[in-house]
Amino acid sequence: MIDQTDIHKKVRSENVHDRSEAVEQFHRYFALFQDKNQAWQDLLELTKDEDINIQMKAIESIGLAFPYVSDKKQAWEDLQVLTYDIDYSVRWRVAEAIGLRKSSKRRSSKSSKLSIFIYS
C-alpha cells in the first residue's frame, strides 16, 4: 500500500535520497494514489528540484500521471508553465512527456500551440 503522507513529506525533504524515492513512487504508482490532485502538485514541485536527475524523472512522470488527473484543464495549464522554463532540456522533456515529439499527423490545436513555446 502506498503511504501518500510519507511520500508527500519526502517531496519536501532536504535529503536528496528521500526526494528521489518520492519521484520514483510517483513514476511507478501515480494511478494508485488516493489524492491524485495532491500527488500532481507534489510531482510539479519535484519538476523544480535542484537535483537534475529528480527534476527530469519528475518531468518524465508527468506524461504517465496526466491521464489520472481529474482537472485536465488545470493540469494542461501547469504543463504550459513548464514549457516556459529557461532550460531547453526541461522544455524538451516536457514535449517528450506529453507526446509532442512523437511523429503524429493528428495534433490538437492545443498541442500545436504548446509546441510553439517548446521549440522557440
- Domain residue spans in the chain? 4-119
What pTM was estimated for this model as a whole? 0.79
Query: Which of 75, 73, 9 shows the shortest CA–CA distance to 36?
Result: 75
* Whether residue 18 has pLDDT greater than 50: yes
User: Is residue 4 a contact partner of residue 39, using CB atoms and an 8 Å limit?
Assistant: yes
Does domain 4-119 fall under CATH 3.40.50? My reply is no
C-alpha cell read off for 84: 516556459
User: Is residue 27 a contact partner of residue 57, using CB atoms and an 8 Å limit?
Assistant: yes
Q: In whole angstroms, what is the distance from residue 88 CA to residue 26 CA?
A: 24
Query: Which of 51, 44, 42 shows the shortest CA–CA distance to 17?
Result: 51
C-alpha cell read off for 71: 482537472
* Whether residue 120 has pLDDT greater than 70: no
pLDDT given at position 83: 85
